[in-house]
Chain A
């Protein structure tokens, strides 16, 4: 929405409608408050009590719903058991060992894998999949976790990831295949996937919490909801991109339907499918912190509690441990994808024997030397104190400066924009969105944008939605204002780009909570803090897409420009930026999506928008409010996404990069 208000589409043909509705809206805004109050405040009496409905429905599901003799709660318990059993096993193996509670005393029967054995096995896996370099990387990543005393938590996190990933892959693959096979299934699934991906995770944490109870099981299920959609999408896409000849081959050799799918099509799509697996792994790790709010434990819980204590150092270390885990699993899965063909992954004796030997040796030595079993306390490092001191020093030294910066932004930017947006009549905004949708994508898009924005008003969330739009809009603008110039500067300088890329890749794997902590410590809670955190997080896609767009401009055109005697500035403004516009628009789109997802997290530091509603609903375990507010954010995201996509498509068509049809 903000994207529309702040970067209105350039008028071309049919512009009269645009100007007319703009003029009407302006008139309404200036003089309509007295004449048409309901255009400003959606009448309470007409509100759709969606929150109550959803809350009621979930209550009913939990307490009364049944399929014949089987109660719904039994079904959820069954699902929970399917997740729970493997989780307990992996957890026992990695973190807890086999224990028994008797009379308040925990008796350890079998210890978990020793840290040395885990590092050894990981190194072996790395060596098998990617040679010595990968093996070294695995040792460094897991060694880091051990040295900084994060081992126990990291293994709890790893256990939940190891359970969530295979389940996510299997479900994603199954849904993707169904969607590929049956057009009607795809049509039904697609909006659901859109919603799952745009809805902030907090929103469905509450229903999951109510249905599955507090604990790691619920966390794994929430992770699955979050991490499965990309796998499903990639599966459908990959299968539909398998070359026609492979289909012909399958029929010519007389494959049955099943043989065709599993022996020919799925293996042919292996490369993109492995990208999907990688996505599931990365998204599962993204969820680690949020999932700890409903009982995942592990590193996520450490980060969260550090944030609550405002212990930046501890949070950073746990956060970096998540990054180490992410890097290790990411590289490992990519190497396996490149190396492995199904036939290779048989019994590879040397590796298997060495792995088992390491586990056995770790176990035996662990009985004699405790340091082998558990990383010794004395050898741990911690940087907590250093960071605390650093932050304190900055606060003491620069307090006035920081305060001045903050006040300046609040008074001159944040507050005026917020006032302006809150003063807009909802009716006009809905109408303008409808017109924009019609101009960019026809009546279907118009119906979608106007309908969704109306629903936000009708469920009584207009004001909070506007606060969301204001924070997201300003942050997006600032992120673009920083990201696009940076992108332009680094795009043509190969070395600088290589460095920048490492920085932004790392920034993206860093859990978003980690951004929040230092900012909170410097600026305390409030809108300004939220804005900085969102900008820091959302500037990454702005840079990335700008660079992508500029680098993908056809070099022949630049050559032609140079041949005609363009100055570098002319080449940049007249050729490169023009042609990169579609990508930059998609970057803007991504920036908005990133901003919205970060915005929900900043609710932890006290904003007053929809994100806050979602978060409060979570703490009060109120599923109706949480879902409605979550849907509100999802609607904003969908409106912005569809409008920008339609605009980018038009831009591409105009440049002849994409067929208009």
Chain B
């Protein structure tokens, strides 16, 4: 997985709001403090990041941190003021509006915080809408939409209108719609923030299930650190428009780069973040020893030691690669360092 190529790369991306921002920025240079002094609002500041193919890349930040602006810059819904955005090597900022339309139609999908379902259309029509816009024939697009509706578990609700659905169901429709055009890059802008906690959890599981089947490249925005840790392969933490730290959930929890990041990770139980891979001792595994996936967290592994076993095997892609010791697991579960 580490070898997967980068699908989306941001190089020094800026978004500055204000009158004649681009010219002003040319004059002032890339200095956020000076821009603020000039009465401009640098909402995204010098962001560098790369999203690998097939990974879930979560951008986490509190409200006003610029995460929503950043994700809109990535699809050029908002025009970045400076920088480069490479999508499979193509610089999006150099693409014409017509090219962008084609890219958005066929290669990007987006899920919105407040669902953005069209109130005058049925579930089926909503899901088929991106295909209709492309000019796909009715029969073909409805067949495809039905497939998507089945995928998100809404079979039987095709003829309903959005107002007749619960929030969770509405967002399922939003997800189905964003997947209808088979995009390779999938943006989710705080998709579960408007839902109540139980439904949110249910949809997070659903999302993980979908991703295990679809293997999309995902940029996921959230303000909820627990959600970020639960879902992310890697997380970028944003503050005041800038990226503070990028890393796996374990990286962030075990070695936060700043006090700001530490503040978020403080309340997170280590055992729920640390994966077996970083606790194991590489080496041969006895053939009869039960194995857990390397991605499993320590908390998930705890149950396997209930039988009194001293060691449990760890496997990756079906290959046994090492073992984890009971006392290491217990120490971590009790709150000690790894």
The answer to whether A and B come from one shared complex is: yes
- The answer on a CB contact under 8 Å between B110 and A252 is yes
* A268 to B129 CA separation, bound complex (whole angstroms): 14
- Tell me which residues across on chain A come within 8 A of B119, comparing CB atoms: 267-268, 270, 341
- The answer on a CB contact under 8 Å between B112 and A249 is yes
Give 1 or 0 for each of B154-165: 1 = CB within 8 Å of chain A CB.
000000010000
**Would you call the interface of chain A mostly helix, strand, loop, or mixed?**
helix
- Tell me which residues across on chain B come within 8 A of A246, comparing CB atoms: 116, 118
* A376 to B51 CA separation, bound complex (whole angstroms): 81
- The answer on a CB contact under 8 Å between A254 and B72 is no
B113 interface residue (CB < 8 Å to A):
yes
Q: Given A245-B112, A248-B72, check contact A254 B104 (CB 8 Å).
A: yes
- The answer on a CB contact under 8 Å between B110 and A248 is yes
Q: Given A248-B112, A255-B133, A341-B161, check contact A267 B118 (CB 8 Å).
A: yes
- Tell me which residues across on chain A come within 8 A of B122, comparing CB atoms: 343
- The answer on a CB contact under 8 Å between B130 and A253 is yes
- Tell me which residues across on chain B come within 8 A of A248, comparing CB atoms: 72, 77, 110, 112, 116
Q: Given A243-B116, A254-B130, check contact A343 B102 (CB 8 Å).
A: no
Number of A residues near B (Cβ < 8 Å) is: 20
B326 interface residue (CB < 8 Å to A):
no
- The answer on a CB contact under 8 Å between A254 and B133 is yes
- Tell me which residues across on chain A come within 8 A of B125, comparing CB atoms: 343
- The answer on a CB contact under 8 Å between B134 and A243 is no
Contact of B102 among A243, A254, A259 (CB under 8 A): A254
B219 interface residue (CB < 8 Å to A):
no
* A271 to B187 CA separation, bound complex (whole angstroms): 30
B114 interface residue (CB < 8 Å to A):
yes
- Tell me which residues across on chain A come within 8 A of B121, comparing CB atoms: 267, 341, 343
B266 interface residue (CB < 8 Å to A):
no
Q: How far is the CB of B15 from chain A (nearest CB, A)?
A: 15
Give 1 or 0 for each of B63-78: 1 = CB within 8 Å of chain A CB.
0000000001001010
Smallest CB gap from B181: residue in A? A253
Smallest CB gap from B72: residue in A? A248
* A611 to B120 CA separation, bound complex (whole angstroms): 46
- The answer on a CB contact under 8 Å between B77 and A252 is yes
B304 interface residue (CB < 8 Å to A):
no
Give 1 or 0 for each of A217-255: 1 = CB within 8 Å of chain B CB.
000000000000000000000000001011011011111
* A259 to B131 CA separation, bound complex (whole angstroms): 12
Which residues of B98-134 are within 8 A (CB) of A? Answer: 101-102, 104-106, 108-110, 112-116, 118-122, 125, 129-130, 133-134
Give 1 or 0 for each of B244-255: 1 = CB within 8 Å of chain A CB.
000000000000
A342 interface residue (CB < 8 Å to B):
yes
* A617 to B113 CA separation, bound complex (whole angstroms): 60
* A248 to B69 CA separation, bound complex (whole angstroms): 12
- The answer on a CB contact under 8 Å between B120 and A249 is no
- Tell me which residues across on chain A come within 8 A of B129, comparing CB atoms: 253, 263
- The answer on a CB contact under 8 Å between B104 and A245 is no
Give 1 or 0 for each of A335-355: 1 = CB within 8 Å of chain B CB.
000000111000000000000
- Tell me which residues across on chain B come within 8 A of A256, comparing CB atoms: 101, 133
- The answer on a CB contact under 8 Å between A252 and B120 is no
B108, B118, B134: residue with the most chain A Cβ atoms closer than 10 Å: B118
- The answer on a CB contact under 8 Å between B75 and A245 is no
* A432 to B226 CA separation, bound complex (whole angstroms): 64
Q: Given A248-B112, A249-B112, check contact A254 B118 (CB 8 Å).
A: no
* A243 to B115 CA separation, bound complex (whole angstroms): 11
- The answer on a CB contact under 8 Å between A251 and B104 is yes
- Tell me which residues across on chain B come within 8 A of A245, comparing CB atoms: 112-116
- The answer on a CB contact under 8 Å between B120 and A341 is yes
- Tell me which residues across on chain A come within 8 A of B115, comparing CB atoms: 245
A264 interface residue (CB < 8 Å to B):
yes
- Tell me which residues across on chain A come within 8 A of B114, comparing CB atoms: 243, 245
Give 1 or 0 for each of A120-154: 1 = CB within 8 Å of chain B CB.
00000000000000000000000000000000000
- Tell me which residues across on chain B come within 8 A of A343, comparing CB atoms: 120-122, 125
Smallest CB gap from B161: residue in A? A341
- Tell me which residues across on chain A come within 8 A of B120, comparing CB atoms: 267-268, 270, 341-343
* A220 to B129 CA separation, bound complex (whole angstroms): 40
- The answer on a CB contact under 8 Å between B133 and A252 is no
Smallest CB gap from B180: residue in A? A253
Contact of A253 among B72, B105, B161, B187 (CB under 8 A): B105
* A412 to B72 CA separation, bound complex (whole angstroms): 70
Smallest CB gap from A270: residue in B? B120
Contact of A249 among B101, B102, B106, B116 (CB under 8 A): B116
Q: How far is the CB of B135 from chain A (nearest CB, A)?
A: 10
Which residues of B122-155 are within 8 A (CB) of A? Answer: 122, 125, 129-130, 133-134
* A263 to B101 CA separation, bound complex (whole angstroms): 16
- The answer on a CB contact under 8 Å between A251 and B77 is yes
- The answer on a CB contact under 8 Å between A259 and B133 is yes
Q: How far is the CB of B97 from chain A (nearest CB, A)?
A: 10
Contact of B109 among A251, A252, A267, A268 (CB under 8 A): A252
- Tell me which residues across on chain B come within 8 A of A263, comparing CB atoms: 118, 129, 133
- The answer on a CB contact under 8 Å between B161 and A252 is no
Smallest CB gap from A265: residue in B? B118
* A166 to B106 CA separation, bound complex (whole angstroms): 39
- Tell me which residues across on chain B come within 8 A of A252, comparing CB atoms: 75, 77, 104, 108-110, 187
- Tell me which residues across on chain A come within 8 A of B187, comparing CB atoms: 252
Contact of B104 among A253, A259, A341 (CB under 8 A): A253
Give 1 or 0 for each of B89-101: 1 = CB within 8 Å of chain A CB.
0000000000001
* A243 to B130 CA separation, bound complex (whole angstroms): 19
- Tell me which residues across on chain B come within 8 A of A255, comparing CB atoms: 133
Q: How far is the CB of A519 from chain B (nearest CB, A)?
A: 48
Smallest CB gap from B115: residue in A? A245
* A248 to B114 CA separation, bound complex (whole angstroms): 12
- The answer on a CB contact under 8 Å between A268 and B133 is no
- The answer on a CB contact under 8 Å between A254 and B112 is no
Q: Given A249-B110, A343-B122, check contact A254 B116 (CB 8 Å).
A: no
Q: How far is the CB of B193 from chain A (nearest CB, A)?
A: 13
* A267 to B134 CA separation, bound complex (whole angstroms): 19
- Tell me which residues across on chain A come within 8 A of B77, comparing CB atoms: 248, 251-252
* A256 to B181 CA separation, bound complex (whole angstroms): 16
- Tell me which residues across on chain A come within 8 A of B112, comparing CB atoms: 245, 248-249
* A100 to B72 CA separation, bound complex (whole angstroms): 67
What would 18 more interface pairs be, CB under 8 Å, given A254-B102, A256-B101, A342-B120?
A245-B113, A246-B116, A246-B118, A248-B110, A248-B116, A249-B112, A251-B104, A252-B75, A252-B77, A252-B110, A253-B105, A253-B130, A256-B133, A268-B119, A341-B120, A341-B121, A341-B161, A343-B125
The 10 closest A-B pairs by CB, nearest first: A254-B105, A253-B130, A245-B116, A267-B120, A249-B116, A252-B110, A254-B101, A245-B112, A254-B104, A341-B120
Q: List residues of chain B with CB under 8 Å of any chain A CB.
A: 72, 75, 77, 101-102, 104-106, 108-110, 112-116, 118-122, 125, 129-130, 133-134, 161, 181, 187
14 contacts between A and B (CB under 8 A): A245-B116, A248-B77, A248-B110, A252-B75, A252-B104, A252-B187, A255-B133, A259-B133, A267-B118, A267-B121, A268-B118, A268-B119, A341-B120, A341-B121
Q: List residues of chain A with CB under 8 Å of any chain B CB.
A: 243, 245-246, 248-249, 251-256, 259, 263-264, 267-268, 270, 341-343
